[in-house]
Amino acid sequence: MPFITMMPHIRRYFAYFATLLLLLLLSGFMLPSDYHLRRSIVINASPDVIYPYLADLSRWPQWTVWHRRDPAMKIQFTGPSANIGMKSHWQSDTEGTGSIEVTELRANQLVVYQVVLPDQELSSQGTFELESTRNGTRLTWKDTGDFKESPLNAWLSLFMDQWLGKDVATGLENLKVICENQPAPISIITESK
């Protein structure tokens, strides 16, 4: 008999839960489905030292967090190396499946890329902007994405800056270490008579 007397309480809790779930779903339609992320760092190196690490997707495993998290990640590169149209396709148990394509380049100034993450139903566009400063190069990494019409994924857009921002900042720090520890170019001086 105790179960029968608990039924009205169980129904009420179920109704509360269903109402809360419905409210979350409906409010998801009112949330922005897109996100914007921006991180910058000053690297004590010239743009021509940094740029190849950005434009050539085959060099990203040296400094990005995602590649370092899963050394067993399967990566395939297609298209012209360090050029518009170069693509990177990856499969990973921990980092998911996706692809990146370089869509715009301006030597030592700008790299634009498109990311597609089919598992998350997300596409994003990223840019690297390089600007010479007195202390080296200011590198700014921007990423914008859109979860499209999914009200559940719209909730994710509220947290993308925190989640993705940490990985972006760590990637920039990794790149800083690599670029600042490059051997200095050797100048050969010849005497002429």
Task: Give me the pLDDT at residue 126, please.
Answer: 96
- Per-residue pLDDT, 146: 75
Cα separation, 26 vs 47, in Å, equals 47
Instruction: Classify residue 91: in a domain, yes or no.
Output: yes
pLDDT of the residue at 184: 60
What is the pLDDT, as a whole number, of residue 153?
65
φ, ψ dihedrals at 81, nearest 5° = -60, 135
Structure tokens at 89: 């396709």
Alpha-helical runs (H) found in 100-159: 151-157
pLDDT number for residue 150: 65
Distances (CA, A) of 52 to 49, 76, 98, 130, 184: 7, 18, 22, 12, 16
Count up the domains in the chain and report the number. 1
Quick count: other Cβ atoms within 10 Å of Cβ 135? Answer: 9
Q: Which domain holds residue 105?
A: 32-180
Burial 164-176 (b: 16+ CB within 10 A, else e): bbeebbebbebbb
Which pLDDT belongs to residue 29?
63
**Residue 128 located in a structural domain:** yes
Is residue 8 included in any domain, yes or no?
no
Here the CATH number for the domain that contains residue 72 is 3.30.530.20
On whether residue 134 sits in a domain, the answer given is: yes
User: Which pTM was predicted?
Assistant: 0.77
Note down pLDDT in tens along the chain; length 193 residues.
465 666 676 777 777 766 766 666 666 566 666 778 999 999 999 999 999 999 999 999 999 998 888 889 999 999 999 999 999 999 999 889 999 999 999 999 999 999 998 887 778 999 999 999 999 999 999 998 876 666 666 666 667 777 788 999 999 999 999 999 987 655 555 565 5
Task: Look at residue 186 and tell me if it is in a domain.
Answer: no
